[in-house]
């Protein structure tokens, strides 16, 4: 799956604007701020600066703010997306969605002021599916580790027409294959 115009070619650092050019996520759900290491198709290291301004801290938990573990795992998946999406020739027509999470373990809380270092290693990658191992550390100490699986699905650029009260399908919510 070679892609000669890969935007990661020869790069080691990506700033937020370049990350936003790869991922469809936006505030408040874009959970990585910078890429500091890249080994195409194999490994990536991302940084997430955790601040008290994150909207989830308002309710998780008042007086004792902790970044939800599910969002730490999401940051792991997003870093993997930055690594692999540039390798997809028709990436602007695709989304990379979760299909599974294995062996997620949370070792310490992530709190405002922490800087997450997210390291991803590709375990298996085929044209439409990937399996990656992720570790998130703070000051060299393990905060979270998980193996994430994802799949490429077609991206639709327009919202489907629906009548008032009609539910959004699982596929429209990006939950394909997550049962």
* Residue 2 scores a pLDDT above 50: no
CA distance 158 to 117: 35
User: Does residue 179 lie within any of the structural domains?
Assistant: no
What pLDDT score was predicted for residue 3? 44
- Closest C-alpha to 120, from 20, 9, 46: 46
pLDDT digits (tens, 9 = 90+) for 9-40: 666 899 999 999 999 999 999 999 999 999 99
- Candidates 11, 41, 60, 131; catalytic one: 60
Q: Does residue 178 sit within a domain?
A: no
Q: Does a structural domain hold residue 60? A: yes
pLDDT class of 177 with cuts at 50, 70, 90 = very low
**Residue 156's pLDDT band (cuts 50, 70, 90):** confident
- Report the alpha-carbon angle 151-32-110, nearest 5: 105
Helix (H) or strand (E) holding 103: strand 94-106
What CATH number has the domain bearing residue 106?
3.10.129.10
- For the chain, how many structural domains are there in total? 1
In a domain, 168, yes or no: no
Average of per-residue pLDDT values in the chain: 88
Domain membership flag for residue 83:
yes
Any bridge partners for residue 118, and if so which? 46, 136
Boundaries of domain holding 76: 16-153
For residue 166, pLDDT over 70 is answered with no
* Model confidence band, residue 6 (pLDDT cutoffs 50, 70, 90): low
User: What pLDDT is stored for residue 122 in this prediction?
Assistant: 98
Residue 118 is predicted with a pLDDT of 98
Quick check: is 25 catalytic? no
- For 35, 73, 97, 150, the CA distances from 178, given in Å and listed in that order, are 28, 15, 9, 10
Q: Which helix (H) or strand (E) holds 70?
A: helix 69-84
User: pLDDT for 37-92, tens place per residue?
Assistant: 999 999 999 999 999 999 999 999 999 999 999 999 999 999 999 999 999 988 88
In a domain, 6, yes or no: no
- Over the stretch 133-150, which tens digit does the pLDDT of each residue have? 999 999 999 999 999 999
Query: DSSP assignment, residue 111?
Result: -
């Amino acid at each position: 799956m070679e892609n000669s115009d890969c935007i990661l070619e020869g790069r080691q650092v990506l700033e937020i604007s370049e990350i936003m050019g790869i991922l469809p996520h936006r505030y408040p759900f874009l959970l990585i701020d910078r890429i500091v290491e890249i080994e195409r198709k194999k490994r990536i290291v991302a940084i997430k600066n955790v601040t008290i301004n994150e909207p989830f801290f308002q309710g998780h938990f008042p007086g004792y703010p902790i970044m939800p573990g599910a969002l730490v795992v999401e940051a792991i998946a997003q870093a993997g997306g930055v690594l692999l999406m540039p390798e997809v020739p028709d990436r602007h027509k695709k989304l990379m969605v979760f299909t599974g999470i294995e062996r997620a373990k949370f070792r310490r809380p992530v709190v405002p002021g922490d800087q997450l270092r997210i390291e991803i290693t590709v375990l298996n990658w085929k044209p439409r599916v990937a399996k990656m191992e992720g570790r998130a550390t703070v000051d060299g100490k393990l905060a979270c580790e998980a193996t994430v699986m994802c799949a490429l699905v077609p991206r639709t650029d327009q919202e489907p027409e629906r009548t008032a009260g009609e539910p959004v399908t699982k596929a429209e919510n990006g939950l394909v294959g997550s049962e």
